[in-house]
Chain A
Amino acid sequence: MKYEAVIGLEVHAQMLTETKIFCRCSTKFGSEPNTQTCPVCIGMPGVLPVLNKKALEFSIKTGQAMNCTISSCSRFARKNYFYPDLPKGYQISQYDLPICEHGHVEIVFDGEIKKIGITRIHMEEDAGKNIHESASGGGNYSFVDLNRAGVPLMEIVSEPDIRSPKEAVEYMKKLRTILRYLEVCDGNMEQGSLRCDANISVRPVEQKGFGVKTEIKNLNSFKFVEKALEYEIERQKKILEEGGKIVQETRLWNSERGITESMRTKEEAHDYRYFPEPDLVPIIIQKTPQIISPLGMPSEEAFGIPEIKLIELPDPKRKRFVSEYGLPEYDADILTSERPLADWFEEAVRLGGQPKAVSNWIMVELMRLLNEENKSIEECPLKPKQLADMLKLIDKGTISGKIAKTVFEEMYKTRKDAESIVKEKGLVQISDAGEIEKVVDEVIAKNPKEVVRYRAGDEKLLGFFVGHVMKLTKGKANPQMVNELLKKKLS
């Protein structure tokens, strides 16, 4: 039987606010334990949360970018459970009335555009971190670091629209792109700024209803998302093929062993006893903000929709790259994955580069050079103008495409412009027919056996002659002219 996977992701994105969501402590990463805490985020008796308006603004921005409906009335809820890293014994989250709902994002998969539905986006606070001293290290203690407690998170929940691990990765990359475009999350997966839980089930291809799902926790890299889902699909398929039943449960990805392991079953699941957070008033979003009615109970807080800086989001930008520059979806998707990369491309085109040529040079040569040094596009030593100028030299026939590769690497290394590199290194293309003819004659004269074979019909040998001509001219001969001359002389 053929099976297909049904996947939905819950992505947690840490917001790039300066301060925590319900107090004024810093959100800076990596400080000494418990140095960024106050009575509010430690959960001392009698303290109260006050919503960081920046976190609300970031959530609304994200919702708008992901085509969501922004709820006109939204509220916080308490999620109750005991754990030492959760100082209040409950997490302030959103439950029945999240800030954003009913959105979608587009991913490009196998050259096709696919919509992935966003069920909801809600705001919540992060928990702290438990640090366990190992018994072998002589300690028998656990420590709690509450620096992270109260850092604002967005939870972005997708519809079960994803059908393969690779699609899941594409979707997650798209979220990361949008969040980084909006500058609401740095998308740093190593530091845990972006992490994901996956819900996954498999079903026979022709089946409409969903199979029993499992939830995989704690997937903190694109690779783990893909690997864990691949493993889990195979595990579930095998159970079904052997006539078994999937147990609804939460599983944990073990990256060392490359497997998912059962964490708790449905029966052991927490009852979080959600209820509306009475310490925070409902959030009312209006076109224009106004203060609550003066004589009612203080039952709600009104906010205006934050003014969104007009930036072009990844999906519209991708579409524009296709229509305006005639790029394939694949190219457009990659070029728009990071805002600075898209800007780099557009600058090179604006300065005269032919779009598809610019795209090819970026995606093949530039990306390779950057990857070798593990650099981002922001750290790229090469300027768009240098590429545009080099492309002009190719168009004019001053250098060949092959020589251009050398020039490009040289520009990247030395930051010099193409023209001076060409001059310094004497890389100007030989387009003088007489000069090329001399070399062609020489090569024909030196290889009589090959000439005989070529003339007998072994036309593949043309490359052999071209190679020799290029070698003798140090690659500078105009390849087109070399081809034409050789063909003429050999026929």
Chain B
Amino acid sequence: MNLFSLTISEVRDLLDRKEISVNDLIKSFYGRIAAVEDRVKAFVTITEDNALKMADKVQGKIKEKTRDTEFLLGVPLAIKDNICTKESLTTCSSKILSTFIPPYESTVTSKLLEQGYILIGKTNMDEFAMGSSTENSGFYSTRNPWDLERIPGGSSGGSAAAVAADECIAALGSDTGGSIRQPAALCGVVGLKPTYGRVSRYGLVAFASSLDQIGPITKNVRDAAIVMNIISGHDSLDSTSAPLPVPDFTAALGKDMKGLKLGVPKEYFIEGIEREVEIRVKDAIKKLEALGAIPVEISLPHTGYAVATYYILATSEASSNLARYDGVKYGFRAEGKDLMDMYMNTRAQGFGPEVKRRIMLGTYALSSGYYEAYYKKAQQVRTLIKQDFEKAFQQVDVIVTPTYPTAAFKLGEKTADPLQMYLSDIFTISVNLAGVPGISIPCGFTANNLPVGLQLIGRHFDEESLLKVAYAYEQATEWHKRRPNL
């Protein structure tokens, strides 16, 4: 038995029954990393020394542990490199933060630490979470474990690849326009973007503040529910986190889905979607129907405006959020003959091309004379998109769509045409604009043995229905059990 291929609940059981030690477990993962990481390149930083120290500390606690609590005691997780980990490098895969060590812990990792998790490493990403392929990392591209010639998706490509390649049990990602769900789909794992406000953003390096949300990337649906139980909830350090009680998400698993109304939006099954992807998703819908759900065709009429709306709002917020990287206080600084020169050199050398492109787009959209036509108009459309979902959820309980129009593409295949890359985000973006939760789960493979993802979308703060449906589907299929051949 390879310890590194287990899930959180399986590992929990073995640790609590003292059949394995935390040290065994951690060593197994670092062995796996040593074997595959040079091919996958999922990590920016590997925190082995610290993890082994932690393992010893945590082992003592396991002896005193009463079951059912401290679910993550001794469990090794990978964290996307835009989530601040105290005294551990947090780079956002950007040269401008390549030396940045936060003196504070993000709220999500604080919660994981309270539970006794062990940080295995920080994962690679598109620089500042801007991208859909992890090719925009300021360091190197991560590879898809299913085909090393292909991209893992993005921007949480490192987290998804690390989970798929068994380099960690589970990981945290962040999702601004699909950055958890899309790489999860392309790497054949589970990725959940919670409702905006469900999980604290404190310590998540901001890309687009009104869209960013942290969520789990896991090997199965139960693990996603377990991680959600821990990271959710109001945080006094984040005003946009919702002051709502957190349910036990694992309680939703295994519940009957008979009579559940499943919305199938006609705007999501259109030209441009890969034939094989469409077939797998439609098969999945049939499977859900067989499990008791009732498919209903619905319309989300403003879907066609989502990509344009997103790329105005997200870049506007980003242009402001990234202003703090000016070489004055921390991170990379280039020399210059005066202040302006230092600013320009620092930002010219510190940011990669995609980040610069988005800063320029956002700066333009917010400029005096253009604000009304771009930012303000986009906000109005965002409201319409949100209303599309509200109307749809009067008719149905959960909406089902493909996560991404294609399977993983080859490295370099789309880098020349950023607009084409942006347009591919069409199925995930509306979910962030509306603030609703979405999950991607494996729903089959293409002829090339590349994973295909199924996206389920729920009402605000109704992650439970997503987990219920996802779990029922997972129980009835075997896709999640397949592992890449590395």
Contact = CB atoms under 8 A, between A and B. Distances in A.
A274 B370 CA distance: 12
Contact of B239 (A49, A84, A274, A296): A49
A280 B239 contact: yes
A281 B366 contact: no
A444 B97 CA distance: 99
Interface string A69-112: 00000000010101010011110000000000000000000000
Interface residues of B, number: 56
Nearest to A144: B328
Given A275-B366, A295-B461, A297-B196, A47 B202 contact: yes
A489 interface: no
Contacts of A275: 316-317, 320, 366, 371, 375
Contacts of B90: 45-46
Contacts of B110: none
A39 interface: yes
B323 interface: yes
Nearest to A45: B205
A395 interface: no
Interface string B233-276: 00011111111100000000000000000000000000000000
A80 B368 CA distance: 12
B92 A45 contact: yes
The residue in A45, A90, A279, A301 that gathers the most chain B C-beta atoms within 10 A of its C-beta is: A45
B329 A43 contact: yes
A87 B239 CA distance: 20
B238 A46 contact: no
Contacts of A278: 208-210, 240, 317
Contacts of B100: 45
A127 B195 CA distance: 34
Given A46-B202, A46-B205, A39 B103 contact: yes
B102 A46 contact: yes
Contacts of A88: 323-324
A90 B363 CA distance: 13
Decide if the interface of chain B is mainly helix, strand, loop or mixed: loop
A44 interface: yes
A298 interface: yes
A42 B444 CA distance: 48
Contact of B330 (A44, A80, A294, A298): A44
Interface string A45-75: 1111111000000000000000000000000
A281 B240 contact: yes
Interface in B75-118: 82-84, 90, 92, 97, 100, 102-104, 106
A292 B242 CA distance: 9
Given A50-B237, A275-B366, A44 B320 contact: no
A271 B368 contact: yes
Interface string A274-316: 1100111100000000011011111001000000000000000
A298 B237 CA distance: 14
Contact of B320 (A51, A89, A280): A89
A45 B84 contact: yes
Nearest to A146: B329
B324 to A, nearest CB: 5
Contacts of B244: 294
Nearest to A23: B237
A48 B460 contact: no
A396 interface: no
B320 A273 contact: yes
A45 B324 contact: yes
B104 A273 contact: no
B164 to A, nearest CB: 26
Nearest to A281: B239
A47 B320 contact: no
Contacts, number: 125
Nearest to B83: A46
A50 B326 contact: no
Nearest to B328: A84
Contacts of A279: 206, 209, 239-240
Contacts of B239: 48-51, 279-281, 301
Contacts of A47: 104, 202-203
B237 A89 contact: no
Nearest to B343: A82
- Identify the interface centre among A49, A144, A280, A295: most chain B CB within 10 Å of its CB: A295
A144 B367 CA distance: 29
A275 B371 CA distance: 9
A223 B320 CA distance: 39
B201 A78 contact: no
Interface in B295-328: 316-317, 319-320, 322-326, 328
B339 interface: yes
B236 A50 contact: yes
Q: Which of A88, A142, A297 has the most CB of B within 10 A?
A: A297
B435 interface: yes
Of A275, A279, A280, the most chain B CB neighbours within 10 A belong to A275
B324 A89 contact: yes
Contacts of A50: 236-239
Interface string B112-144: 000000000000000000000000000000000
A93 to B, nearest CB: 13
Contacts of B461: 295
Contact of B366 (A45, A80, A294): A80
B104 A39 contact: yes
A51 B240 CA distance: 11
Nearest to A51: B239
Interface in B198-215: 201-206, 208-210
B237 A48 contact: yes
A329 B287 CA distance: 86
A39 B237 CA distance: 12
A490 to B, nearest CB: 84
A315 to B, nearest CB: 36
B238 A80 contact: no
A298 B97 CA distance: 31
A48 B196 CA distance: 15
B226 to A, nearest CB: 24
B197 interface: yes
A440 B329 CA distance: 86
B460 A44 contact: no
B393 to A, nearest CB: 11
B105 to A, nearest CB: 10
Contacts of B339: 84, 142
A80 B323 contact: yes
Contacts of A42: 329
B240 A45 contact: no
Contacts of A82: 323, 326, 343
Contact of A48 (B201, B317, B325): B201
| Interface core residue of B82, B206, B238, B240 (most chain A CB under 10 Å) | B240
A48 B366 contact: no
B203 A46 contact: yes
A279 B316 CA distance: 14
Nearest to A39: B104
A80 B329 contact: no
19 contacts: A39-B102, A39-B103, A44-B104, A44-B329, A46-B83, A46-B206, A47-B203, A49-B239, A51-B239, A88-B324, A89-B324, A90-B323, A271-B367, A273-B319, A273-B363, A275-B366, A278-B240, A291-B243, A296-B460
Which are the 4 A-B pairs with shortest beta-carbon distances? A89-B323, A298-B197, A273-B366, A278-B209
Interface of A: 39, 42-51, 78, 80, 82, 84, 87-90, 142, 144, 271, 273-275, 278-281, 291-292, 294-298, 301
Interface of B: 82-84, 90, 92, 97, 100, 102-104, 106, 195-197, 201-206, 208-210, 236-244, 316-317, 319-320, 322-326, 328-330, 339, 343, 363, 366-368, 371, 375, 435, 459-461
Given A89-B320, A298-B243, 12 more contacts: A39-B103, A42-B329, A50-B237, A82-B323, A84-B326, A84-B339, A88-B324, A273-B319, A274-B371, A280-B239, A281-B239, A297-B197
